[in-house]
Amino acid sequence: MTVFQAIFLVVAVVTLGGAVMVVTVRNLIHAALWLILSLFGVAVMYGLLSAPFFTVIQVVIYIGAIAILMIFAIMLTRRVAQEPGSSVNKGWWMAGLMSLVLFTALVWMFSTWSGFQTTLPQLPEGIDTIKVLGTALVSPDGYVIPFEIASVLLLAALIGAVVVAWERKT
């Protein structure tokens, strides 16, 4: 077993363990903290896949913004966060069964694909992927249209969130 594999396995176990805690733990604040652990694990995965830009935006956007936003929302709705009674609905065993079936089906489907055992290729020499990504996102030959649409979407979401959560004094 190489060092790379060892790191991968440790990070995978931590991430999946955190994810399981997110969906099972009763206290929502604790679930959010487990979510942060899981997101950190995913950030390390991006690092292992030599995508350092994604490691950074994972930490900044997911952990810095989304997870904190969720903790805020949980605190604003505190009363229901610790409601007595079950934290899962009546059909939870069906949900678990469906997830298991989907996982088995996915792995089986992947294993029939010829590229499943592709080994790690060398990155092309002398190319800075962050630079290439930045150029591709704003060049007309690249992804400038999706990039601009994403900007409009974010602006719409920003205004929409303010309008929806606005408290009207009547």
Partner 1 sequence: MISLSYFLVFAAALFCIGLYGVLARKNAIAVLMGIELMLNAVVINLIAFWRFRTPEMIAGQAFGVIVFAVAAAEVAVGLALFIAIFRRRNTIAADEIDLLKW
Q: CB 140 → partner 1: shortest distance, Å? A: 14
Q: Is 64 in the site for partner 1 (CB under 8 A)?
A: no
- Please choose, from the candidates 90, 87, 85, 96, the residue with its C-alpha nearest in 3D space to the C-alpha of residue 27: 87
Q: CB 104 → partner 1: shortest distance, Å? A: 9
Q: Is 170 in the site for partner 1 (CB under 8 A)?
A: no
CA distance 148 to 151: 5
Q: Is 120 in the site for partner 1 (CB under 8 A)?
A: yes
Determine phi and psi for 26, rounding to 5 degrees. Answer: -80, -45
Q: Which one among 14, 46, 56, 59 touches partner 1, defined by CB under 8 A?
A: 46
CA distance 96 to 77: 27
Name the DSSP letter for residue 82: T
Q: Which one among 79, 112, 141, 169 touches partner 1, defined by CB under 8 A?
A: 79
